[in-house]
């Protein structure tokens, strides 16, 4: 992101503070283990040992209780036991603490990234003085924290807008980089869909009157800070369901371990409490239990990195479930500007003649259409743009509805809308070929726009050269994108104001599954409710006030940051980049969030197999040598075996922090393919990895002299 601005204004006038520039967009190079974040996360992980905090996570709470218990037992027996026994107890207790700390660290790391962003945002929120317009028209100075909804404030160039609101008077350029990270200023004006302004952004030019629409402390910026900080993070539905399952599994294992002691006593092999605690901690799903909240926070964070603010975790999760995607045609599927696609000759001209005429007429045309005509003529027909020196530009006017060039040699070239050109040629005494009308109609019918090119040699009459077919161009890669979505089971519906014929043509070209033509907001709403009645989850983007009901109705409604306050209120996400294609990425982030949880749960449970084979023989082979045959890993001694399992259990949490923060690899595939791959990697891998890991740790532990 560049911080240069093309419209750098004068230094701000005194009185209003200048908003600091904030980088909300992540630089590509920010590593997962950013040193400053790591340092504060380390501190936080100790702070989080507070049992009141821990109790929110039953799995890790049990581990902490186990850690306390083993520590107490170690301290009680330290005087009486032999050295090896003490070393063992100390190490078990130590690694149980590490297990808790590692889990806290993971959570703190995830939060740390958000906090770093929040810190910079908070600087923006500094109190500003607003010039409040009294009902009688006089102006008083008022702190921005004292503004109420409905207050009108006067803001001039260089001042910071004191709160969220709508412009009721005036037009201004506004620097919104504090919120969006984009340095290019945007235009905001009263009335219409561009009237919303955000507190903390700065007016660069002109003067506006803003009517405040949010209470201080509840502004967009405040919400944004709270969101990235994860302060009022609430568990999402799937997270709650998973937590219940994890708690259930923890109780099952508690049951298995508690009842094991009577069985062991019966078998003549009573177990020390430390060993039972170690077994319990190894069995309960600490890996996923320790990483669960980090995964959730990181999921939100990944959205923030894509400059999307989700108002709730629930919305992110819902994004993963989306089955119908409503995409606006313009700007999302197509470039939104029409591009030259073909030159059609008429009567006795050739295609090259048309191309040449079109090229000349567009040499000075800086509109996207004009540039696309130059591009097509040079690339498809090998024409070289003539040196425009001395040529005179004839600009487009509402009267002529034509533009073109007058060349130094006296030749004149024009292009324009078909009816204007026809009228012009006839007026000038030229003839319009009979076949022009059918060609123009044909182009229109297939959803494209016809431009007619004419020229006049010095002294000659105006002659119709042919037609330029301008069409709305589908962005490259869209078809592939939609194919991927289809593979993931997501249906795309294109929304357009075009007539059905045009819409069908573009829908076919882009490869969307369905389209809604001549769409009114009511049609859109009806489509959403219809899809939802069929059990589909619908995602859409919108920016206008008339999109608000549909945004609210959709399961995932992404409002463009450029949109109105109403739209932003109605949606459950805001895209700061105002890029409608973002919807697809949002869906991916949502899916990735669930996949990461599921995969790590599977991994966590699969790990238990190896842990049993390490710990059970270690517990009993002393008294019941027959059970040593279960020691398939050939671990050094009972103590090293138990210790290795505990250490593995602790380190696997740290080892998986990057995965938890980044999310498991996402590929657009059908569910069964995804399941097969993740089951293989995290299920089978989860069974095998600990066998190797525990064996390696055992070798090291034994080499260090524990036996």
Percent of the chain that is helix, strand, coil (3-state, to 5): 50, 15, 30
Q: Of 637-696, which residues contact another protein (CB under 8 A)?
A: 666, 670-672, 674-676, 678-679, 682-683
Least distance in Å: CB of 248 to another protein? 3
- Strand order, beta sheet including 556-560: 308-310, 573-575, 556-560, 538-542, 324-328, 491-495, 514-516
Least distance in Å: CB of 303 to another protein? 15
H or E stretch at 309: strand 308-310
At 411, phi and psi to the nearest 5? -70, 140
**Which C-beta is closer to another protein: that of 283 or that of 525?**
283
CA distances from 696 to 60, 327, 702 (A): 26, 52, 10
Listed ranges 84-92, 234-242, 352-360, 446-454: which one lies at the site for another protein (CB under 8 A): 234-242
Q: Is 399 helix (H, G, I), strand (E, B) or coil?
A: coil
CA distances from 296 to 315, 594, 604, 659 (A): 12, 9, 17, 12
Q: Of 570-599, which residues contact another protein (CB under 8 A)?
A: 590-595, 597-599
Q: Of 172-231, which residues contact another protein (CB under 8 A)?
A: none
Q: Of 475-504, which residues contact another protein (CB under 8 A)?
A: 486-491
Least distance in Å: CB of 490 to another protein? 6
d(C-alpha 240, C-alpha 219), whole Å: 29
At 419, phi and psi to the nearest 5? -70, -40
Least distance in Å: CB of 661 to another protein? 17
Listed ranges 79-87, 246-254, 368-376, 472-480: which one lies at the site for another protein (CB under 8 A): 246-254
H or E stretch at 452: strand 449-456
Task: Select from 171, 209, 247, 688 the one that contacts another protein (CB under 8 A).
Answer: 247
**Which C-beta is closer to another protein: that of 289 or that of 590?**
590
**Which C-beta is closer to another protein: that of 279 or that of 525?**
279
Check binding of 57 to another protein (CB under 8 A): no
Listed ranges 64-72, 315-323, 545-553, 572-580: which one lies at the site for another protein (CB under 8 A): 315-323
Task: Select from 120, 305, 378, 536 the one that contacts another protein (CB under 8 A).
Answer: 536
CA nearest 468: which of 439, 507, 437?
Answer: 439
Q: Of 252-271, which residues contact another protein (CB under 8 A)?
A: 252-253, 255-267, 269
Residues 6 or more apart whose Cβ sits within 8 Å of residue 479: 509, 510, 511
Residues forming a β-bridge with 542: 559
**Which C-beta is closer to another protein: that of 547 or that of 608?**
608
Check binding of 287 to another protein (CB under 8 A): no
* Four-residue CA torsion sign, 7, 11, 15, 18: positive
Least distance in Å: CB of 532 to another protein? 9
Task: Select from 34, 154, 206, 321 the one that contacts another protein (CB under 8 A).
Answer: 321
**Which C-beta is closer to another protein: that of 432 or that of 635?**
635
Question: Tokens representing 506?
Answer: 């573009």
DSSP H helices, 409-518, are 418-427, 436-445, 478-487, 500-510
**Which C-beta is closer to another protein: that of 655 or that of 683?**
683
Q: Which of 151, 164, 328, 543 is catalytic?
A: 328
Number of residues counted as binding another protein (CB under 8 A): 76
Count of residues making up the chain? 707
Task: Select from 60, 155, 160, 283 the one that contacts another protein (CB under 8 A).
Answer: 283
Check binding of 539 to another protein (CB under 8 A): no
d(C-alpha 15, C-alpha 359), whole Å: 54
**Which C-beta is closer to another protein: that of 577 or that of 669?**
669
| 634 has catalytic annotation | no
Buried b / exposed e across 114-150, counting CB within 10 Å, b at 16+? bbbbbebbeebbeebebbbbeeeeeeeebebeebeee
- Strand order, beta sheet including 449-456: 334-345, 463-474, 449-456, 412-417, 402-406, 392-394
Least distance in Å: CB of 254 to another protein? 10
**Which C-beta is closer to another protein: that of 226 or that of 630?**
630
**Could you tell me how many helices (H) and strands (E) the chain has, helices first?**
23, 21
Q: Of 610-639, which residues contact another protein (CB under 8 A)?
A: 612, 616, 620, 624, 626-627, 629-630
Q: Of 69-98, which residues contact another protein (CB under 8 A)?
A: none
Least distance in Å: CB of 533 to another protein? 8
Listed ranges 108-116, 497-505, 514-522, 601-609: which one lies at the site for another protein (CB under 8 A): 601-609
Task: Select from 51, 191, 192, 248 the one that contacts another protein (CB under 8 A).
Answer: 248
Buried b / exposed e across 415-452, counting CB within 10 Å, b at 16+? bbbbeebbebbeeeebebeeebeebbeebbeebbbbbb
**Which C-beta is closer to another protein: that of 210 or that of 291?**
291
Active site residues: 328
């Amino acid at each position: 992101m560049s911080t240069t601005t093309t419209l750098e204004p004068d230094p701000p006038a005194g009185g209003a503070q200048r908003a600091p520039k904030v980088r909300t967009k992540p630089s590509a190079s920010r590593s997962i283990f950013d040193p400053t974040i790591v340092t504060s996360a380390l501190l936080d992980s100790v702070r989080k040992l507070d049992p009141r905090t821990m109790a929110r996570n039953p799995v890790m709470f049990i581990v902490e209780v186990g850690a306390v218990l083993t520590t107490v037992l170690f301290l009680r027996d330290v005087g009486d036991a032999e050295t090896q026994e003490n070393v063992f107890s100390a190490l078990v207790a130590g690694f149980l603490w590490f297990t808790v700390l590692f889990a806290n660290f993971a959570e703190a790391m995830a939060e740390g990234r958000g906090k770093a962003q929040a810190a910079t945002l908070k600087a923006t929120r500094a109190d500003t003085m607003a010039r409040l317009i009294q009902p009688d028209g006089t102006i008083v100075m008022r702190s921005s924290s004292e503004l109420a909804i409905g207050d009108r404030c006067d803001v001039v160039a260089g001042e910071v807008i004191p709160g969220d609101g709508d412009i009721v008077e005036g037009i201004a350029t506004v620097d919104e980089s504090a919120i969006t990270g984009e340095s290019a200023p945007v235009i905001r004006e009263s009335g219409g869909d561009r009237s919303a302004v955000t507190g903390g952004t700065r007016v660069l030019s002109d003067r506006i009157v803003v009517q405040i629409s949010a209470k201080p402390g509840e502004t967009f910026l405040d919400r944004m800070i709270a969101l990235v900080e994860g302060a009022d993070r609430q568990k999402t539905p799937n997270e709650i369901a998973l937590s219940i399952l994890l708690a259930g599994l923890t109780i099952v294992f508690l049951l298995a371990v508690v009842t094991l002691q009577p069985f062991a006593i019966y078998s003549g092999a009573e177990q020390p409490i430390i060993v039972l605690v170690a077994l319990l901690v190894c069995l309960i799903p600490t890996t996923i239990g320790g990483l669960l909240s980090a995964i959730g926070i990181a999921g939100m964070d990944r959205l923030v990195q894509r400059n999307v603010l989700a108002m709730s975790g629930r919305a992110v999760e819902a994004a993963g479930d989306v089955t119908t995607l409503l995409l606006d045609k313009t700007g999302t599927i197509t470039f939104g500007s029409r591009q030259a696609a073909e030159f059609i000759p008429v009567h006795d001209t050739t295609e090259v003649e048309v191309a040449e005429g079109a090229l000349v007429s567009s040499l000075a045309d800086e509109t996207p259409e004009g540039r696309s005509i130059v591009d097509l003529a040079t690339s498809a027909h090998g024409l070289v743009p003539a040196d425009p020196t001395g040529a005179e530009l004839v600009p487009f006017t509402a009267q002529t509805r034509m533009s073109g060039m007058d060349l130094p040699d006296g030749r004149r070239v024009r292009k324009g809308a078909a009816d204007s050109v026809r009228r012009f040629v006839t007026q000038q005494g030229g003839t319009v070929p009979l076949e022009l009308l059918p060609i123009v109609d044909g182009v229109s019918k297939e959803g494209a726009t016809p431009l007619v090119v004419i020229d006049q040699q010095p002294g000659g009459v105006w002659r119709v050269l042919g037609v330029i077919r301008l069409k709305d161009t589908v962005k490259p890669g869209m078809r592939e994108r939609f194919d991927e979505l289809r593979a993931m089971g997501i249906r795309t519906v294109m929304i357009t104001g075009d007539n059905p014929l045009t819409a069908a043509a573009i829908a076919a070209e882009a490869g969307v599954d369905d389209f809604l033509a001549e769409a009114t907001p009511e049609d859109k709403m009806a489509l959403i409710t219809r899809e939802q009645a069929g059990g589909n989850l619908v995602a859409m983007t919108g920016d206008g006030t008339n999109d608000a009901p549909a945004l609210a109705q959709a399961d995932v409604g992404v409002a463009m940051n450029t949109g109105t306050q109403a739209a932003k209120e109605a949606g459950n996400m805001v895209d700061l980049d105002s890029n409608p294609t973002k919807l697809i990425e949002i869906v991916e982030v949502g899916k990735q969030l669930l996949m990461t949880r599921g995969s790590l749960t599977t991994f966590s449970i699969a790990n238990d197999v190896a842990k049993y084979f390490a710990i059970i023989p270690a517990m009993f082979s002393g008294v019941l040598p027959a059970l040593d045959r279960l020691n398939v890993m050939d671990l050094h001694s009972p103590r090293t075996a138990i210790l290795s399992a505990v250490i593995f259990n602790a380190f696997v949490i740290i080892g998986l922090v990057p995965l938890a923060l980044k999310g498991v690899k996402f590929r657009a595939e059908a569910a069964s393919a995804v399941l097969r791959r993740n089951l293989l990697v995290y299920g089978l891998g989860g069974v095998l990895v600990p066998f190797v890991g525990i064996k390696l740790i055992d070798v090291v532990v034994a080499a260090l002299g524990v036996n």
